[in-house]
């Protein structure tokens, strides 16, 4: 039986993917038949340097690989439960997050910087491939290039992602900000798509794509949500302090400025009405033609990793 109907929510960099169908359709197949060589994974006769480097990171991710490690914890909890996750049910995500945040985390800036700089160097060609991050992730056909972005971002955001995922909101029963936000977003997707189990959220968090291919815009007011802003600032500050190569940054989210405009817009707050986005920044944003993605790592990448270890 295929695990078709699964909601899998994964924080990736800035991008939170609330996937009704977590791409688990081929999960079981992978579980029984996971590639045990780099060549098999990338379906090639000879792995190039970048593919070999990624393969090594999948096999031996270390603690800096926050998104991989969270994904592994969620996957293990699903496996141990023996249950099939239901669409739009965040139970497993919540348990996995709890488990992950109680584990130790040792990752120094020095160490992680060496790792991500090396990925930028070794995977230079792969990281020059341009993707439209508003597209359905199914359409990213160059798996090597796609995996290169995912691996780079996993390490690059290892330190801020840990903090963003695991910071608790003292004002609200001490739940994680990350969980509160993802819960709201999930509810919205569920309602908006009539609980379509095939709905996917694009990597740039701009759209939900329904099973029938129809795209629905994620309201920008989500970027004014206090929980979102809390976590977005953690990433934003890190990204400003620790820069990637210009060309790579450009392929991922345009400039730092674009990134902030989209994910940390100016918001005004009105009592009783919740948070309202300022119209000015809103209309400008819709004119953008670049498609920034705060993050790229997908459930697909995560699956690769969870099963590789
Ligand atoms: C993926 O991109 C790399 C880097 O540009 C290129 O060498 C490779 O041929 C591409 N692979 C596919 C399947 O298009
Ligand atoms: C749920 O979705 C419907 C139709 O897309 C919309 O009209 C309605 O306002 C939504 N309700 C909530 C609470 O978001």
Is 225 inside any structural domain?
A: yes
CB 90 within 8 A of CB 182: yes
Q: How many domains does the chain have?
A: 1
CB 252 within 8 A of CB 244: yes
Question: How many angstroms does the Cα of residue 184 sit away from the middle of ligand 2?
Answer: 13
Nearest ligand (C-alpha, residue 188):
2
Q: What is the pLDDT of residues 262-291, one digit of tens each?
A: 788 888 765 554 444 444 444 333 333 233
Is 1 inside any structural domain?
A: no
pLDDT band at 109 (very low <50, low <70, confident <90, very high): very high
Q: What is the pLDDT of residues 170-228, one digit of tens each?
A: 887 789 998 898 888 889 989 999 998 888 888 888 889 998 999 999 898 888 999 88
Is 302 inside any structural domain?
A: yes
| Residues contacting residue 191 through CB under 8 Å, at least 6 positions apart | none
User: What separation, in Å, do the N-terminal and C-terminal C-alpha atoms of the chain show?
Assistant: 23
The DSSP symbol for 218 reads: P
| Mutate-to-test residue for ligand 2 from 192, 210, 215, highest number of ligand atoms within 8 A of CB | 192
Is 169 inside any structural domain?
A: yes
Question: How many angstroms does the Cα of residue 58 sit away from the middle of ligand 1?
Answer: 20
CB 52 within 8 A of CB 36: no
125 Cβ inside 6 Å of ligand 1: yes
Domain region containing 275: 6-307
Q: Which residue has the tokens 């400025």?
A: 257
Which of 232, 241, 227 minimizes the C-alpha distance to 261? 232
Higher pLDDT, 72 or 130: 130
Nearest ligand (C-alpha, residue 210):
2
User: Is the pLDDT assigned to residue 92 strictly greater than 90?
Assistant: no
Encoded tokens for 70: 């969270």
Buried b (16+ CB within 10 A) or exposed e, 238-273: bbeeeebeeebbebbbbeeebbbbbbbbebeeeeee
């Amino acid at each position: 039986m295929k695990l078709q109907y699964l909601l899998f929510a994964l924080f990736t960099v800035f991008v939170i993917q609330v996937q009704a169908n977590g791409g688990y359709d081929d999960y079981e197949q992978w579980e029984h038949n996971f590639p045990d060589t780099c060549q098999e994974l990338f379906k090639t006769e000879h792995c190039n340097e970048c593919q070999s480097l990624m393969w090594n990171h999948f096999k031996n991710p270390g603690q800096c690989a926050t998104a991989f490690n969270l994904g592994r914890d969620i996957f293990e909890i699903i496996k141990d439960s023996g249950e099939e996750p239901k669409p739009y049910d965040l139970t497993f995500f919540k348990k996995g997050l709890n488990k992950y945040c109680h584990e130790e985390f040792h990752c120094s800036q020095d160490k992680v910087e060496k790792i991500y700089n090396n990925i930028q160097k070794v995977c230079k060609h792969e990281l020059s491939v341009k993707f439209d991050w508003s597209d359905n992730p199914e359409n990213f056909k160059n798996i090597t290039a796609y995996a290169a972005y995912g691996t780079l971002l996993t390490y690059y955001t290892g330190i801020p992602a840990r903090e963003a995922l695991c910071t608790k909101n003292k004002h609200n029963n001490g739940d994680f900000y990350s969980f509160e936000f993802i819960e709201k977003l999930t509810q919205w997707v569920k309602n908006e798509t009539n609980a379509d189990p095939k709905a996917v959220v694009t990597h740039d968090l701009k759209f939900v794509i329904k099973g029938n291919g129809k795209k629905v815009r994620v309201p920008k007011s989500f970027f004014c949500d206090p929980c979102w802003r809390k976590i977005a600032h953690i990433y934003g500050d890190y990204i400003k302090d620790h820069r990637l190569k210009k060309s790579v940054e450009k392929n991922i989210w345009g400039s730092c400025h674009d990134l902030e405009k989209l994910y940390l817009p100016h918001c005004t707050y009105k009592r009783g009405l919740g948070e309202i986005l300022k119209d000015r920044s809103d209309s400008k944003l819709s004119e953008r033609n670049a498609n920034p993605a705060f993050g790229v790592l997908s459930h697909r990448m995560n699956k690769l990793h969870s099963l590789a270890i």
